Amino acid sequence: MATVTPALWRRWGPWALGLVGALAALGLQTQLYTGQVRTVATIFMFVALALSWNLIGGYTGYASFGQVVFFGLGGYFAAVTMTHLHWSFWVALPLAGLAAAAYAVVIGIPLLRLRGHYFAIATLGVAEGTREVVINLDGLTGGGGGITVPTVGAAAATKYLGNDGFYLVYLALAVLALLITGLVSRSKFGFAMRAIHQDEDAAAAVGINTTRTKVLTFALSGLLTGLVGATYAFQQVTIYPERLFDVEITVLMVVMVVIGGSGTVLGPIIGAVALQFLSEWLRQNYTTVHTLLLGIIIIIAVILLPQGLVNYLREARRNGDYSLLANVRRYRL
Amino acid sequence: MKTSRILATATIAAVSVALTGCGSKGEAGGDAGASSGTLTIGASISLTGKTAREGVLTQEGYQLCQEKVNAKGGVKVGDKMLKLDIKYQDDTSKPDTAASLVDQFNDQGIKLILGSYGSANTEAQAAVIERNNQVMVDSSGADNNIFAKGYKRTFGVLSPATEYAASIVKAVAELASPKPTSVVVLSADDGFSKRAADGAAKAAKDLGFTVLETQYFPNGATDVSASLNKVKASNPDVIIGSVHLAEGVAIIKQAKELGVVPKVFGETVAPPTPDFVTTLGKDAEGVLGSSQWTKSAAGSDDYFGTAKQYDADIQAKFKHEAGYHNAEASAACLAFVLAIQKAGSTDANKVRDALAALDAPSFFAQLKFDAVGMNSTKPMSVIQIQGGKQVTVWPKASAEAALIWPGTTK
């Protein structure tokens, strides 16, 4: 076996691990019952969502609390075009992503001038407003009564993919999000994003086109979220504005990224897998108190590891101090 | 060197997982529990989330059913008596989770499913039921849409959404004297309310009323004055609200403020809710409402007896009056039990056929499904608030008191 030098490992190791992970996911599929396939597919869905939020919220430091707007928009784009124009899912999917990205550019240009809480609140407002528009475009979206994507008979341009099909699509989207995050985090563009996070004025002073970087990141993040939303719409068959623009979906993305470690490649993946797995396990075993338990666990996790698991491990290794109490003290909680 | 070893081990692990799994996938064995003397039915219900209250009432209905059936020795399948065991999972009031739970039950070999709370959840479940060849009895999804998709494996014990407001129109047409002539429908804009509003407008037209254009306002609105002002000039005899509690209360309050006085107000799900009377006090007097079930419903069965006995049992077990959420859940469970006994088997296909052919009386209503799976012969009950209490006035067979007409005072 050829020697792997540290430099070679740093360059290619993470990619190899990613590849192994994806292969393992394919292998895992063959081991599961069909209902479990659906549950794991949902985990991949959240991995993709958390990774896409991490681009704008983690790397760039713009906490988008209206991220679900791209999910809903992607979903409705796919549902409406598949229902009224009888598009194939495979045509609707990429275009739904692009539509969400275009929307991100349109709202991003004004909104990304705001910072901190103001940006968070403004995006939240856009998401709520967009939902109202979708509800009121009755003829197109079915309004509050929802819209049903044709999956059987002559009206169905694409046959329903089934649990196995959606597992593969969500896995592919999670891998795509991982690839984009991996590429971005190592590129000049990624350094620009981090610079904006740390000090936007200083970043501008050293010649980074901050507006362009922010809008592009937002669009990229919107694209990925829109793709996931489109897949979700087809998977659910009947969709309602309430669920597609549910602020809880945004909150989950944020919590997953925060718990895993924001601004890292691995963090959102760990956060999404851990949280989804935990919530599913609690729900199955503690039917009546599972939300309470999940809430308590999240609170404890955030208090003990305010910087997220990946960042905590990184710092602990550097300092040689794995004490959680010391960590809490360091973050002055 | 160390890293390359980790990488190699990980690759081997991944590949071996991929290889060993080939061909081992499938569903767990069917007919769960039947051999061990229990009959397992899966129920995904909303124990948390925004319809948790209704979800818990639904669960109570299922629990009482299990208790009653097992008290009689269980479900008779062929020559065996199987103990009924309903497994509950919380769908957190979300359609996607509800659908996912049906898949998970299927993994465990549970093919017989009792529905979740609400139309959105039930609709999502019905699609999965169909794909997995399971069978579901729906206890609370009344939206006609669920039954308009050609599904063959979902059966609803309820009257469909289109009957909710239409039943009030029918009651007024039959009971009111002198007979009113004009009707207007005010509706919230969610799918269920719209469907109910369409049903009312159609029924009114069929019965020879002059029907004004339906007015819509947002679901959850607390200000409906714009709609009321629009209809004020034409002074309709009957104002029907296809609404939830909040909008229902707003219509009565604001109509009074604006001086809109029809002969009667009728509203779908608001008046049967206890909060309706406590919020509106005297203004609630005379308002008509529609309910899937009331304590004076006709009919009885071997397990629950009459509607009155059912109410007493719920009071004894859960310390509150029986509401229609309880009753419809118990009725759904009862339909399953009767169909399984008739089929003499727990096989999903045989139970499905038995459900399709079921025609049995119960404390809830006649349990009989039409070609699409709706209990379309079941009448809704119409209640009127009289002296601060809900009193059934229609259908005549189960009426507790005569309709007070007009239902409003100038």
Residue B4 belongs to a domain: no
Residue among A16, A24, A30 minimizing CB distance to B7: A16
Whether residue B51 is found in the same domain as residue B73: yes
Pinpoint the alpha helices (H) of B22-86: 52-71
The domain total for chain B is 2
In this prediction, residue A333 carries a pLDDT of 58
In this prediction, residue B8 carries a pLDDT of 47
**How is residue A303 written in tokens?**
């208090």
> Which residues of chain B neighbour A152 with C-beta distances below 8 Å?
150
Span A174-199, average pLDDT? 95
Residue B18 belongs to a domain: no
> Which residues of chain A neighbour B25 with C-beta distances below 8 Å?
30-33
> What is the domain-level CATH number for residue B87?
3.40.50.2300
**How is residue A95 written in tokens?**
């275009």
Task: Dump pLDDT digits (tens) for A128-167.
Answer: 999 999 988 988 998 877 898 988 777 788 989 989 999 9
Residue B409 belongs to a domain: no
CB within 8 Å: B47 and A24: no
The interface pTM score, or ipTM, of the predicted complex is 0.84
Question: CB burial class (10 A; 0-12, 13-18, 19+) of residue B219?
Answer: buried
If phi > 0 it is left, if psi is from -120 to 50 it is alpha, else beta; for residue A201 that is alpha
Q: Which residues numbered 320-379 in B keep a CB inside 8 Å of some CB on A?
A: none
User: What percent of chain A clears pLDDT 70, i.e. is strictly above it?
Assistant: 98
Distance between CA atoms of A97 and B112, rounded to whole angstroms? 39
> Which residues of chain A neighbour B89 with C-beta distances below 8 Å?
283-284, 287
Contact B355, B254 (CB under 8 A): no
Whether residue B340 is found in the same domain as residue B219: no
Closest CA to B45 of B134, B162, B136: B136
Contact A120, A65 (CB under 8 A): yes
Pinpoint the alpha helices (H) of chain A: 6-31, 34-53, 68-84, 89-111, 116-136, 138-141, 162-186, 188-198, 200-205, 210-236, 241-244, 247-260, 266-285, 290-304, 309-319, 324-330
Whether residue B363 is found in the same domain as residue B386: no
Contact B123, B143 (CB under 8 A): yes
Closest CA to B372 of B166, B138, B167: B138
CB within 8 Å: B100 and A144: no
CB within 8 Å: A237 and B18: no
Q: Is pLDDT at B318 greater than 90 in this prediction?
A: yes
Reported as a pLDDT band with limits 50, 70 and 90, residue B275 is confident
Contact B243, B267 (CB under 8 A): yes
The whole domain housing B98 covers 34-159+296-368
Reported as a pLDDT band with limits 50, 70 and 90, residue B274 is confident
Q: Is pLDDT at B192 greater than 90 in this prediction?
A: no
Residue with tokens 């338990």: A293
Whether residue B319 is found in the same domain as residue B218: no
CB atoms within 10 A of CB A154: 7
B310 versus B3: the higher-pLDDT residue is B310
Q: Hey, is the C-beta of A229 within 8 angstroms of any chain B C-beta?
A: no
Task: Dump pLDDT digits (tens) for B72-130.
Answer: 999 999 889 999 999 999 999 999 999 999 999 999 999 999 999 988 899 999 999 99
Distance between CA atoms of B167 and B392, rounded to whole angstroms? 13
Cα of A290 to nearest chain B Cα, Å: 9
Residue B55 belongs to a domain: yes
Give the helix/strand (H/E) hosting B340. Answer: helix B324-343
In this prediction, residue B323 carries a pLDDT of 87
What's CA B296's distance to the chain center, in Å? Answer: 19
Beta-strand pair B75-77/B80-90: antiparallel
CB atoms within 10 A of CB A140: 14
Whether residue B154 is found in the same domain as residue B203: no
Q: Hey, is the C-beta of A4 within 8 angstroms of any chain B C-beta?
A: yes
Q: Is pLDDT at A332 greater than 80 in this prediction?
A: no
Distance between CA atoms of B268 and B290, rounded to whole angstroms? 5
**How is residue A58 written in tokens?**
């983690």
Q: Is pLDDT at B211 greater than 70 in this prediction?
A: yes
Residue B17 belongs to a domain: no
Whether residue B264 is found in the same domain as residue B229: yes
Q: What is the dihedral of CA B9, B14, B15, B17, to 10 degrees?
A: 120
pTM: 0.85
In this prediction, residue B190 carries a pLDDT of 79
Q: How many Å is the Cα radius of gyration of chain B?
A: 24
Q: Which residues numbered 145-184 in B keep a CB inside 8 Å of some CB on A?
A: 145, 149-150
Closest CA to B179 of B207, B145, B151, B146: B207
Domain boundaries defined on chain A = 21-246
